[in-house]
Structure 1
């Protein structure tokens, strides 16, 4: 099967990507989540992709990423990134960074091939996810004396408009994963998400969330609805109650409450953003031979004009 290169030509692109374990088994304890967290940063740095935020859970992970518009990487930067991913020679990648540096400097035939091969992996979310999942699977299986597949699927992805509101809404949904799972009442207390890491002083996590809000206090307003006519409290609601309000009473819920439910728009949609952005990209997908889809206004809350391109025929919640 031909590998899909997930890029928007000439444009910076944002994707919400996620993957789940086989059968959704809760295989990851603190140690496993910490290793996966570190590998996310390592592989993203190698790929030249910015992690806006992330959440690593017991049986899945989410990442919101920024894919650069252009890939223009110097040989010096290629060596730095290579050393970041391969600090030591391995049986499957025995070349030391110093050897790569020499080939690139002397522009040998091997160096030209290596440069071309490495550049193909830069700024490509498909390569990033493949490398990330393979690397973690290898570590996980060795640490458990285990073999076989770990992930139940390639990965899911939703193209997100680079508008600050769209990005902030998706980021908040990701950072609230542990709250939805009942692990914590406040995402700042969950060490395996971008928001908590940023509050803890993580430089890369802070840089990532600066894409959605320059001030972490401002981002917290999206997490809790402060300043938007909603109560400044840690709201939660059961799926059953949410369905009753939305479907039986035809009502709406506060955005901060809906974000604490498992909303299918964020995981099973295709494109998310303003109606014009969604229409443009679903038409591109349709013209590429996929079945016709269209933009749908997001329902159930005041989403600030967001729409989603999706063929979903089921309800709002998972």
Structure 2
């Protein structure tokens, strides 16, 4: 069955996706042992294919990933061959033609191939480990293209949505206490936070930082402030976030009063998330290719802080 998916492979810019999938029948099959293996395979794939994990959460019956696909121009032929050999598990294999080399370059930058390969490896391990067979996931994964730019805080909203999963489920009251999520990984200095200095440059331009470590620290403070409900963090100007918290008397205690609006199909079934201009750009680019039976258009709600998705128009009546 055809599966709607908007995706790009870009030579000169990174592309970001929110990826979601669920276990068939809603079964709670992911325990700590399975989640450890899930994480191991996910991060091992970064060396073979071309992606970075920006955020993640592994729940008992589903997962969310925020994945960055770097520009194809970032990878020279030497690195490409090294990844090909890792992928083939053969240290001596060579590309037989330039066409094969180009095909592999495109393949390892393709979100469908990346997640499909990762899921296949995990399912093979799971079935062997549990002496089971057949499908583990109920359907093909969902993916949403995410705008990452100073014009939209879509990235922060998606990261908050991912981090709040264990809070909404009642497992913890603070995502820092949930081992299988990117937020806790960030605070522990894991590789999931390698891009945080870049995000500082995008979202924290009015806050002073002296080095990369400073940038990462400030971005994580800004992100926590965002989850606490502080939407207009740029008003802090050059103050540290700690000073700004004191000024506005914002408690560090987590009281997630907007849990409901974070939990909706806005994130997992909408194809594109970003500013209205970003969504309209993708709509114009892909509407012919997608051959939709229903009219799609940018969609938002008052509480979404000018973040739009791409959703089909509801039938009148």
TM over 0.5: yes
Structure 2 residues not aligned, in runs of 5+: 201-215, 233-247
**SS in structure 1 at match of 2:279:** helix
Q: Does 1:96 align with 2:83?
A: no
Q: Among 46, 49, 74, which residue is 1:47 paired with?
A: 49
Aligned to 2:24: 22
2:255 pairs with 1:235: yes
Corresponding residue number in structure 1 for 2:173: 185
Question: By how many angstroms is 1:266 displaced?
Answer: 0.7
Cα distance in 1 for partners of 2:170, 2:179 equals 14
CA contact (8 A) 1:23 1:152 kept: yes
**Contact 2:27 2:61 survives alignment (8 Å):** yes
RMSD of aligned residue pairs (Cα, Å): 2.8
User: What is the CA distance between 1:65 and its match in structure 2?
Assistant: 1.4
1:122-201 mapped onto 2 (5 Å cutoff): 122-164=108-150, 165-201=153-189
In structure 2, relative to structure 1, the CA distance for the partners of 1:271 and 1:114 (3 Å cut) is: closer
Distance in 2 of aligned mates of 1:55 and 1:152:
18
Contact preservation (8 Å) 2:6, 2:144:
no
Residue aligned with 1:58, SS: coil
SS in 2 for 1:123: coil
**What TM-score does the superposition give when structure 1 sets the normalisation length?**
0.77
The corresponding residue for 1:294 is 297
Bigger shift: residues 172-181 or 213-222 = 213-222
Which residue of structure 2 aligns with residue 206 of structure 1? 193
Q: What TM-score, normalized by structure 2, do the two folds share?
A: 0.77
Q: Over residues 191-248 of structure 1, what are the superposed CA-to-partner deviations in whole Å (9 max), with x where a residue is unaligned?
A: 111111111111x2111444544421121111212475776432246xxxxxxxxxxx
CA spacing shift, 1:181–1:207, aligned 2, 3 Å: same
Say whether the 8 Å CA contact 1:198–1:205 is kept in structure 2: yes
SS at match of 1:61: strand
**8 Å Cα contact 2:296-2:313 kept in structure 1:** no
- What is the number of equivalent residue pairs in this alignment? 276
- Alignment CA distance shift 1:35-1:210 (3 Å): farther
CA distance, structure 2, for counterparts of residue 82 and residue 26 of structure 1? 35
Partner residue in 1 for 2:206: none
1:150 shift after superposition: 0.5
Aligned match of 1:249 = none
User: Deviation of residue 163 (structure 1)?
Assistant: 2.1
The change in CA–CA distance for 1:236 and 1:172 in structure 2 (over 3 A counts) is closer
Gaps of 5+ in 1: 87-92, 105-109, 238-255
